[in-house]
Chain A
């Protein structure tokens, strides 16, 4: 594992890896997202209680799940960066952050849109939505801290510490919010009674979860490439890459 990973601490190698991964992530995303969404939105059976409004889970659940996963991924990148002093790890971390924040926002937005038919209000202090909201704040903190520094090396390290503090807190926040929710509202309707989802509804959901994961991977890779180019603009290899691109464009 170590031997396999270690070369990617160098920005040039990481850039190459991004180039290799990019088409795979993009392809998987388009394939799965189109299949999953069309299946889920048009062909999956409607819910007997909620009718067609339940179909928003095909966006809400993947984004909610992956917003948490993206945060954990960000924290892992942060830890790798701190322990092994990899610049590329910090760059990866900050490449993931806004993508994760957008996922969280999608989860909140779809959750609110779903809340309207379910509870009759756009916003209810439901445990899951509250956790997502706090997660969005945590993402904002990491991003704001990163952008407050002029020296991006320092910024990466500082944001990494905050990401780690956040990731220790995420389970505590989750647990505390559920506690708070049951305390104040008694038995509320939880959105997901676990066994109740039918396989015909489940398959498109799984496809969309994978599609959203590839989407995060794809955008992260694009952002990482950008970050590397911006930070290493004076290095010879970047100049070579850029002039190659330019020549390619001229030839066409």
Chain B
């Protein structure tokens, strides 16, 4: 465990903070995408409130995909992934550690940013609470499932568009349940069923994705 922390997690965090410019790009991207909507559909507060959960979630998915490529790409190209595979550490644990890094670097800042986004899109307090909870429960799913597709395409040139093509349809259920939870909150309805479903999906991904990722990495390194 400490081997995993010292050798993999700490290394990935060090690398992420060495490229500070890249670190903030997904967050700024998210902010700009959200700002485009009032400009595109008009600033009417009611309209904005109605589309806000969908807008924020779609923007979060897109910005998460942006940071997805660096999950394994650099390590694959410079050969670190080979050395990691031969380190004796189980590959699924390495994958899980890398996914955790991706979540911390790409999605945690978004969650911190979400009060600002909620304000921009005229959300009320109940909606905002629901948004935070769905983001906390749902974004790990994005990192986990996203890592599978990223691991599969790590050996390909210019695969970022392909990764989006593979992943966006898979994320549709999450988008539906997350936005429906926030909408229910807006109507003062209980939204625990949606949260339970999102949590169940994340648990399923947590249990199976690390193995799929490690298989995918083995295929890519063949």
Q: Footprint of B on A, CB under 8 Å?
A: 82, 134, 137-138, 140-141, 144-145, 148-149, 151, 153-154, 157-158, 161-162, 164-166, 168-169, 172-173, 175-177, 179-180, 183
Contacts and interface: CB of A to CB of B under 8 A. Distances in A.
B180 interface: yes
B166 A176 contact: no
Contacts of A172: 173, 201
Main secondary structure of the interface of A (DSSP, over half): helix
A166 B170 contact: yes
B180 A183 contact: yes
Interface string B205-222: 000100010011001101
Given A137-B169, A148-B159, A180 B180 contact: yes
A173 B162 contact: no
A161 B212 CA distance: 7
Contacts of B216: 158, 161
Contact of A158 (B152, B169, B201): B152
Contacts of A154: 155, 219-220, 222
B176 interface: yes
B176 A179 contact: yes
Given A137-B168, A173-B173, A161 B162 contact: no
Most buried by B among A158, A161, A175, A179: A158
A134 B145 contact: no
Interface of B: 145, 148-149, 152-153, 155-156, 159, 162, 165-166, 168-170, 172-173, 176-177, 180, 183, 201, 204, 208, 212, 215-216, 219-220, 222
A140 B162 CA distance: 10
B145 A165 contact: yes
Q: 8 closest A-B pairs (Cβ-Cβ)? A: A176-B173, A137-B169, A141-B166, A157-B219, A176-B176, A158-B152, A180-B176, A172-B173
A161 B169 contact: no
Given A137-B168, A140-B165, A161 B215 contact: yes
Given A82-B215, A141-B166, A162 B152 contact: yes
5 contacts: A134-B172, A138-B169, A144-B166, A164-B212, A177-B172
B85 to A, nearest CB: 16
Contacts of A168: 204, 208
Contacts of A141: 165-166, 169
A183 B216 CA distance: 37
A145 B215 contact: no
A142 to B, nearest CB: 8
Contacts of A140: 165
A169 B170 contact: yes
